[in-house]
Amino acid sequence: MSAYISALRNVSLAGPTLFGPLLSTATAIASQSLTSNQQKYFILLIVTDGVVTDFQETIDAIIKASDFPLSIIVVGVGGADFKEMEFLDPNKGGRLESSTGRVASRDVIQFAPMKDVHGTGISIVQSLLAEVPGQFMTYMRTREIQAIS
């Protein structure tokens, strides 16, 4: 937390908040690991001070990401009203549907505003990482990937 506070002194936060291009790049990286036959799983951490402005592009990118070895963790920081961001997390906002009518093959995203978790006795890390093992195992099962002994 002190690193975040320190960094804020040297950074100007501004909009718009565009997740689509970032998610597409992360998905491309995860996709490359499949083509090179590497057994890797990726976790993308996004720290945002604002509500996403490219809603449909973000939803489309999340749904595409659900087919790849990737989990997405989004932390909302600052004073913004992050209620609108809850639509990203299927556990809070319901089912995501792409612009072509496709739904995610699995849950890949977790969102939490820092202010909702801070001071509850649960660390933000614990809260955000709680779903990753299940997301990982779902990916492994659907791909029929066995653990290497």
pLDDT in tens, 52-95: 999 999 999 999 999 999 999 998 888 888 888 887 877 776 67
- What does the angle CA 110 – CA 116 – CA 117 come to, to the nearest 5 degrees? 70
Q: Which of 113-117, 118-122, 138-142 has the lowest mean pLDDT?
A: 118-122
Q: Mean pLDDT, the chain, as a whole number?
A: 85
- For every residue of 26-44, which 3-state class applies, written as one string? HHHHHHHHHHCCCCCCEEE
Q: Which two tokens stand for residue 55?
A: 């809603």
Calpha distance 92→104 (Å, rounded): 15
CB hemisphere CA count around 104 (13 angstroms) = 25
What tokens were used for 57?
């592009």
**Is 75 within 8 Å of 40 (Cβ atoms)?**
no
